[in-house]
Amino acid sequence: MIEKMRKYSFVLYHLDYQNFLSDLQKLGVVHIIRNTNDKTESLIKNMELIGDYSEATKFLKKLGSEAQKTSTNLPTKALYNKIKQAREEKEQLQRHLDLLRKQIRDLSPWGHFDYGLETRIEAFGINIDFHTCLKNHFKPQWQQDYCIEIINEVGGILYFVVFYTGERPNLDADTFSFHHHTLQEFETDAAATEARMRDIDEYLSDIAPTAIELFETEIERLSQECDYEDATLQGVSEAEDHVRVLGGWIPKRLEPELVSYLKDTGVIHFAADGAYEENPPISLRNGWFARLFEPISRMYMLPHYNEFDLTPFFAPFFMLFFGFCNADMVYGVLLILLALLIRHKAKSPAVKNYMFLIMIFGVASIVMGWLMNSALGFKILPGDFTAENALTRTILFRNEDQIFNFALLLGVIQILFGILINMVKQLRLYGFRYGLAPLGTFLFLLSLSAMGAKMLGSDISSFEAYLKYPLWAGLLLLLLFNAPRKNLLVNVLGGLYLLYNVITGFFGDILSYIRLFALGVSSAILGFVVNSIGLRLLSVSIVGPVIFFVFMVFGHALNLALGGLSGFVHPMRLTFVEFFKNAGFNGPGTEYKPFGKQKVNS
């Protein structure tokens, strides 16, 4: 849910402003209202330093160094400059090494020889030319007409020399010009360059743990300084600069802490409940289950202050959709084990929460795998279920038609649920009359859905005769109350247009949920194919079991990876497009960032 906010305005004497900000920063509960985006030179400089330290920290973490932390006498800035210098030197060495390797590749076919030998031969009046050409372009007649020695053949290219006196032979071949340095000199230079690069890598690896700790500490310190300095700019000067007025937001649940401080210090302040028109910041506060899905909700955008937080409403559907796309009990167990392993090794609380979410997805895969009778691509309970018992009755989906119908049913339920949420929101925000059109949409589409279920083979005979009542009631509400403050003619004309959009949009949205069926079935088919090929490989003599094991591990790992990716992306699309649209979601809202507890974005 979205926490209720209280708006505070603080009136301070200008000499008390700095001390008040320091106290407010320590409290860490007030989201300061921004009045300017101006930045001082020191603020800009500190933000640039934060960016430099952040980039260096990311680079050092990628090294994956396991060296022990050591003490250093260098200040943080000096250490950063030294690491930066080492990185720049390595980049220069890498460019130099690439050039050397190219020159070595050019000279390697000719081998090692003394360049002075050419001069000594020419002293006897014999000239030498070095040539290259494609092997199929080399003419044997050249060897009869001239003194030619083939030195090497590499990649279909011939390297040869021509000895001659007098006029230079006119050959249809490329002339090769040697560098000033020999192949041996280039190889020696390359070896020295590689050795220096290894020294730099060793230094960076050894210093990485220490530097990361120092840089992160400095980032935290600079972030607080930037946060504080930026806050000093947000106060509005009044009474010829003798008074500062600062505004801020605070969640109601945290208000007692602020009120206690204000009473103790006697700061003049004014407080009022947050109003939508003032764009209060958004702070989400949900139970443990819905809180796991908040990162997914933030991928789209935060809602406006007067909206519903849809996270608790889409969370169960998202979990079910993931399980639908990966309906396999063994895959679910593997996801849980993998998440437990990563959660155990992870140090970041955010990563631990993500892994708990993966475990939830694993549970959903186990449940849906049982309902769809699948474990590692094999059937859990083989047979045609002619003999029903308590166990077989739990296998709810026994063929593709039932899975297809269930995917459509999930779509209908989520869309209608979204329309109900929109109806409640309209009732709460604008009054009873504004909730009638969404109610009419719900009744109309509910009736159409029941009729559609009959076309798919469901038995609705017990209530089929009554469907006309919600159908006509919903149609009337749509036509007469889609614009409550306008006249009847405008409502009817607007209602016809709305009815067209409702019908076409509803069926378009429902068809989007077929992707759940497609992904679930394709994952099962791919698992079946992997099993079929693996069982054939098992019959290979001697090495068959080894090949079978390797192929099964690789095939099912690939299937699980594809299913995991599609099981996240496509439910997210159904959530953000179909569900959010029908729930009337509006955003974006401004995130609640309490002064003193956020880091500067670098």
Give the tens place of pLDDT for each residue, 378-408: 888 776 656 666 677 777 777 888 888 889 9
**CB distance 576 to 300 below 8 Å:** yes
Please report the pLDDT score of residue 598 as a whole number. 55
Q: Which of 318, 418, 334, 409 is nearest to 369 (CA)?
A: 334
* pLDDT value at residue 224: 86
pLDDT reported for residue 388: 66
Q: Which residues pair with 221 in a beta bridge?
A: none
What pLDDT does residue 597 have?
Answer: 67
> What are the extents of the domains in the chain?
5-74+205-278, 113-181, 288-582
Residue 544: the pLDDT is: 85
SS3 state at 243: strand
Q: Hey, what amino acid is at 533?
A: I
Whole-number pLDDT of residue 383: 61
Calpha distance 238→11 (Å, rounded): 10
In angstroms, the CA 504 to CA 581 distance is 14
DSSP lists the bridge partners of residue 154 as 157
Quick: pLDDT tens for 162-209. 999 888 888 889 999 887 888 888 999 999 999 999 999 999 999 999
pLDDT tops 50 at residue 600 = no
Contact 597, 558 (CB under 8 A): no
Residues 519, 570 contacting (CB under 8 angstroms) = yes
Task: For 258-269, give one letter per residue: b (16+ CB within 10 A) or e.
Answer: beebeeeeebeb
Phi, psi of 557 (to 5 degrees): -65, -40
As a whole number of angstroms, the distance between CA 7 and CA 305 comes to 13
b/e 549-572 (16+ beta carbons within 10 angstroms → b): eebbeebbeebbebbbebbbebbb
Rounded mean pLDDT of the chain? 89
380 in Cβ contact with 374 (< 8 Å): yes
The SS3 of residue 56 is: helix
- Angle at CA of residue 187, ends 182 and 188, nearest 5°: 100
- Name the more confident of 37 and 90: 90
8 Å CB contact between 26 and 265: no
370-380: average pLDDT: 86
Q: Where are the alpha helices (DSSP H) in 574-597?
A: 580-582
pLDDT of residue 202: 93
* Cα–Cα distance for residue pair 262/268, rounded to 1 Å: 8
pLDDT at 559: 92
Peptide bond preceding 588 in cis form (omega within 30 of 0)? yes
Amino acid at 573: R
Q: What global pTM score does this model have?
A: 0.77
pLDDT band at 112 (very low <50, low <70, confident <90, very high): confident
d(CA 117, CA 485): 102
Which pLDDT belongs to residue 602? Answer: 37
How far apart CA 80 and CA 215 sit, in angstroms, is 8
Tell me how far apart the alpha carbons of residues 216 and 132 are, in angstroms, rounded to a whole number.
Answer: 57
**Phi/psi at 334 (5° precision):** -65, -40
Looking at residue 601, its pLDDT comes to 42
CA distance 373 to 491: 51
Q: Who contacts 51 (Cβ-Cβ below 8 Å, separation ≥6)?
A: 602
Contact 467, 447 (CB under 8 A): yes
The alpha carbon torsion through 330, 332, 333, 338 (nearest 10 deg) reads 120
Residue range 222-281, pLDDT digits in tens: 888 888 888 888 888 888 888 889 999 999 999 999 999 999 988 888 999 988 888 899
* Of 127 and 179, more confident: 127
